[in-house]
Structure 1
Amino acid sequence: MNPRPASRPRTRTAALACAALLALGAAGCADPEPELTPLGLDPARVELLEPGGGDKAVIRYRDEGADQAARVTVTRGFTQAVEAPDGTVEADPALPDTTMVLPLQATAAGAGPARSVGVELGEPTGSDERLNEDLATAEGFRLDYDAGGTGLPRNPAAGAPERASDTARAGVETSLRQWLTTPVAFPDDPVGVGAVWRVAGEADDPGMRRALTYRLVGRDGDLVDLEVTAEQTPVEATLDDGEVALSVIEAETRTREGRLRVDLRRPLPVSGAVDFVVTVVYGDPGDDAGPRVIQRTLRAIEYAG
């Protein structure tokens, strides 16, 4: 495993130091840093499809020691409906799409294969204002991961501050998993404008795989402009509700927005969004007139300074 950012002291050491100060009656001891636990995400794979034209070069981050304040907005939604043979549709009660705004402070350490990124969360907010006071207890949430020069996240580990509520911990970790499984990464090979590559791996949705196809539309030194198309497909071809097993009839992903600007001197994209809707239709392949279960999933990540 590559080293974590060197500027972060070990949690256990900080906690012991704090306890010692309290035992001596010292005041003003800061909260110990969260103890990090591996998230258990498998790394995605990068495959170059087209090298592009013109002058070609390997794209690598060169952000060692950089600190970046960024705002990442994570949106998710899910709906399900059943279409009967007569064409009538019975939908589950609609739930509003949920959005979480994550103010992040990202720090890069090391270079090349030894590069890693550490992220600390400011005070998060959500689309349901009634929950924001509880959500704010997750301020100080930590995420560290190895990234190498390509930017592909590996070995992510996260931890919440002791004061964080269970709902705040779960909400932030869910958003971070969605972000980590929508990775921005570059191929090992030299590429030019028009190059196309695919980053494929697991999705944050159980039983799904996610692939992001990137196209290099422009580069000006360290500024890289990308177009992104998302595709999400079921790993399991059946839906079993305990009474009947239905198979995947159709799976489609519609990318509503896919554009990113990356500054190779900073660990996170500086602007842009990846926004897509996945529609999966389940039914009996041998019964064209049978009922259909239609599931729609929304996922979106937006970056801002």
Structure 2
Amino acid sequence: MPQLSISGRRVPYVFAAALALVTVLTSCGDPEQSPDTPSATPTEFTVPVTVATVEVLDAGSEPRQSLRMNLLAGTTQATTLVTSTDVRQQIDQQPVQDISSPEVTIPLNAVVTTAASPENSTAVVDLTLSGMTTPDETLQAALGGAEGSGAGLTVTESGAITALRLRPSAGSANSARAAIEQAFGQAVYRAVALPTEPVGVGARWVVKQDVSSEIQLDQTTTVTVTARDGDRLTLAVELSQSPQSNVWNLAGNAGTLDIDQYVMAGSGTMTIDLNLPLPVSGELSVGGDQAYSDPDGTSVIRQSITNNIRWTS
């Protein structure tokens, strides 16, 4: 089952014989291929998204109304997704390394191809990616080959995303595909699910969701309605993550690491329109410090990670 790299975390592999730590980029395709090699990824693949549960803490002031997405077939929206990841890493007493991912700007043209119905409570949204840019010259060249790539979302009436489809173009290099996957991974798990109960301005609710990434995480998002203008809502968002286990099982049966420290939290704002599939605007920054050690405690890797996501229309 495909998994998204949403954190930008670099995965340290443990070699049992040497007890050494090295780093590789997760979700960047076949390690035997050059980053500029066209990807062998299928024409389209689907990444399931874990179920989000919502609990209302405060219904807010009157008047209170039920918040339901109203995504009619044929609805279109043009918006831009901007993501970046700052990663500083230190292995034992070695110098700190900057292994950040550059900012990537992805203009999106969205169209609702299937509306929700009594028989199927989810809407289907198709996305076309064009004119992607980044300040990194090497990645910019790769993004040019990914022109015309697409994506798709399955969205419930609560606004929760239940599936992400990615459709790389034939010319997409591995590095471009990885950058797009990471950007959408952030976008999907920063989406805000709405409560079923009627709420008003000042309402607060908690969204809980498992995050399937390099480390299995429990994610808690606290949402507050700060303003409402018709079907347009301004939301304050606070997010935190915690690991489900104190042991990291590395991909490819490469061993395990003990999770000695894990802090990942942040906040921001989001403006959504109940008639549009994507946020109208918003900005959210989530970051923290992590520390991992091999089971013998002979090597330690420390990382400081900040993920930034921004929506503009």
> How does the TM-score come out when normalised to structure 1?
0.75
Alignment of 1:43-54 (within 5 A): 43-54=51-62
Deviation at 1:247, TM superposition (A): 4.4
Q: Which amino acid aligns with 1:68?
A: Q
Look up the match of 1:102.
Answer: 106
Question: What is aligned with 1:233?
Answer: 242
Number of matched residues?
263
Residue identity in the other structure for 1:164: S
Secondary structure of the residue aligned to 1:203 is strand
Q: Shift of residue 153 of structure 1? A: 0.7
Partner of 1:166: 174
Quote how far apart the aligned CAs of 1:245 are.
Answer: 7.2
Separation in structure 1 between the aligned mates of residue 199 and residue 240 of structure 2, nearest angstrom: 23
Structure 2: distance between partners of 1:91 and 1:212 = 35
Alpha-carbon distance in 1 for matches of 2:213, 2:101: 15
Of 38, 48, 69, which residue of structure 1 is paired with 2:78?
A: 69
SS of 1:57 mapped into structure 2:
coil
Distance 1:197 1:116 in 2: 26
Cross-structure match for 1:214: 223
- Which residue in the other structure is 2:290 paired with? 280
Q: 1:80 to 1:167 in 2, by over 3 A?
A: closer
Once the two structures are superposed, the pairs formed by residues 69-88 of structure 1 within 5 Å of their partners are 69-81=78-90
State the percentage of identical aligned residues: 25
Give the greater-gyration-radius structure (CA).
1
Specify the SS of the correspondent of 1:60. Answer: coil
8 A contact 1:181–1:204 mirrored in 2: no
**CA apart distance, 1:274:** 1.0
Question: What does 1:26-65 correspond to in 2, within 5 Å?
Answer: 35-64=43-72, 65=74
Query: Residues 136-215 of structure 1: matches in 2 within 5 Å?
Result: 136-203=144-211, 205-209=213-217, 210-215=219-224
Using the alignment, how far apart are the partners of 1:45 and 1:164 within structure 2? Answer: 35
Letter in 2 for 1:273: E
Identify if the C-alpha distance between structure 1 residues 90 and 48 changes in structure 2 by more than 3 Å, giving closer, same or farther: farther
Name the stretch that deviates more: 101-110 or 206-215: 206-215
Take 2:84 and 2:155, find their aligned partners in 1: how far apart are those partners? 24
- SS across alignment from 2:190: coil
Say if 1:60 and 1:240 are closer, same or farther in 2 by CA, change over 3 A: closer
Pairwise CA distance, 1:279: 1.9
Write the distance in 1 (CA, Å) between the matches of 2:94 and 2:174. 34
1:261 and 2:266 are equivalent in the alignment: no
1:47-96 deviations in Å (ceiling 9; x for gaps): 3232223221111222313211101001123223357xxxxx64442224
* Distance in 2 (alpha carbons) for counterparts of 1:205 and 1:78: 16
Decide which of 225, 229, 233 is 1:224's aligned counterpart. Answer: 233
- Relative distance call for 1:151 and 1:103 in structure 2 (3 A) is same
1:132 to 1:282, Cα distance in 2 relative to 1, 3 A: closer
- Distance verdict in 2 for CA 1:268–1:240, change over 3 Å: closer
User: Could you list the per-position Cα deviations for residues 19-63 of structure 1 after superposition, in whole angstroms to 9, with x for gaps in the alignment?
Assistant: xxxxxxxxxxxxxxx942111332333332322232211112223
Find the residue that maps to 1:168 and give its secondary structure. Answer: helix
Corresponding residue for 1:123? 131
What one-letter code is carried by the residue in structure 2 that aligns with 1:252?
A: V
* Inter-partner Cα distance in structure 1 for 2:204 and 2:288: 22
Mean CA deviation greater in 221-230 or 111-120: 111-120
| Secondary structure in structure 2 of the residue aligned to 1:172 | helix
Question: Which whole-Å CA distance do the structure 2 matches of 1:245 and 1:161 have between them?
Answer: 35
Name the SS for the 2:220 alignment partner.
Answer: strand
2:28 maps to which residue? Answer: none
Q: What is the alpha-carbon distance in structure 1 between the residues aligned to residue 142 and residue 257 of structure 2? A: 40
Segments of 5+ residues of structure 2 without an aligned counterpart are 1-41
SS in 1 for 2:145: helix
What's the CA shift for 1:237? 0.5
Q: 1:246 and 1:208 mapped to 2: Cα distance?
A: 13
Using the size of structure 2 for normalisation, the TM-score is 0.74
Separation (CA, whole Å) in 1 of partners of 2:109 and 2:151:
10
Cα deviation digits, residues 121-157 of structure 1 (max 9, x gap): 1121223123212212212222222212211111222
